[in-house]
Amino acid sequence: MSDDGSEPLLWRLGVRIESSRDVQLLDWLVGRVGAEEVRGAAYRRRNRLQPRPYKVAEELGVKPPEELESKPIGQWKIGAMREHRAG
């Protein structure tokens, strides 16, 4: 993927996205604390893999709303995420 800013913001935060709930939680986190805070927390939580959004929320000390639903993520998104990780 290019670094020209054309990919969605959520894909550039260094957070692993595996479900629609991850997308919802990450979107909520960015709205609550801002993209730079999320990116920084993801960097601090990173080991060999990108952290999941709930680990970033823990790092930031925020509790996400319970009404976020988990839905199956489409195959096209899974392929796009693998491409993004290969980067």
Domain positions in the chain:
9-86
Give the pLDDT band of residue 68 (cuts 50, 70, 90). confident
Give the C-alpha distances (Å, rounded to integers) separating 58 from 22, 63, 76.
14, 7, 29
**What is the rounded average pLDDT of the residues 30-51?**
90
**Percent of all residues in the chain with a pLDDT value above 90, rounded to a whole number:** 30
Contact 8, 39 (CB under 8 A): no
Which helix (H) or strand (E) covers residue 34, if one does? none
Is residue 76 over pLDDT 50? no
Residue type for 26, please? L
Write the DSSP symbol of residue 61. T
On average, the pLDDT of the chain sits at: 78
